[in-house]
Amino acid sequence: MSMIEIYDRALCCSTGVCGPEVDPDLPRFASDIEWLKSQGHQVVRFNLAHSPMAFVENKKVYEILGKEGTECLPVIVVDGEVVSRKTYPQRENMLRWVGSAPSKPVLPVTEPNKSCCGPKGCC
């Protein structure tokens, strides 16, 4: 499984819903991150306001910040390689970076000539 590091701009929280203007990408991205974790990937988020040393300790992120300033954030690093800057990626992109295929939901299947509602029938 992959190690995903997210270097966020200064936010009050990871979902971004606590400010006066909600960025619609942040709640979607937070949901996608939780989904990736449920698939077994390790995900760590660093917020510039809360964990500034993490930005200094990662040489690649520090170098990008030095050249582009905070406009480069968020920076997404997968298994040590920078894969994205300036935007919160869609789930499909993250899946491609970690080498996974989206899991398809499993629908219940009934046997032929049997009720899908169980032995007592539908309510």
What's the whole-model pTM score? 0.76
- Residue from 5, 25, 24 nearest 88 by CA: 25
pLDDT (tens place) for every residue of the chain, 123 residues total: 889 999 998 876 656 566 666 778 888 899 999 999 998 999 999 999 899 999 999 999 999 999 999 999 999 999 999 999 999 999 999 989 988 655 555 455 555 666 556 566 655
Q: Is 32 in contact with 91 (CB distance < 8 Å)?
A: yes
Q: Where are the domains of the chain?
A: 3-98
| Distance (Å, whole) CA 19 – CA 16 | 7
Q: Which residues pair with 3 in a beta bridge?
A: 42
Fold type of domain 3-98? Glutaredoxin (3.40.30)
Q: Is 86 in contact with 71 (CB distance < 8 Å)?
A: yes
Q: Is 97 in contact with 41 (CB distance < 8 Å)?
A: no
